[in-house]
Amino acid sequence: MKALLKPLRAAVFLITHTALACLVILCVFGVERLIAYLWKESTPLLVGLIPLRYLFDAIDIGVIVIFGVRGILAAYRAFED
């Protein structure tokens, strides 16, 4: 029974981190759509130079990398305990 607890705990960590990352990305997508709705006529620019879409893409990548790395590290630590 104890042999099954470590993989189960690691799977729970990975699933939880994946679910949280999806939730954060969904919230970022909602904010992006809201801003796009408010600026119907043109593409919103950050500081008048960079499309705001690039900022949201960078946030998505950051969330995926951070939650991915943290999830893998948490799963690895679950196996060590």
Cα dihedral: 63, 66, 71, 73 (round 10): 180
pLDDT 10s digits, 43-60: 888 888 888 889 999 999
Count how many domains the chain has: 1
Identity at 21, one-letter amino acid code: A
pLDDT band for position 81 (cuts 50, 70, 90): low
Query: Is 45 domain-assigned?
Result: yes
Degrees to nearest 5, angle at CA 40 with 36 and 42: 90
**Entry pTM:** 0.79
Q: 23 pLDDT exceeds 90?
A: yes
Query: Is 47 domain-assigned?
Result: yes
Q: Could you list the residue range(s) of the whole structural domain that residue 31 is in?
A: 17-80
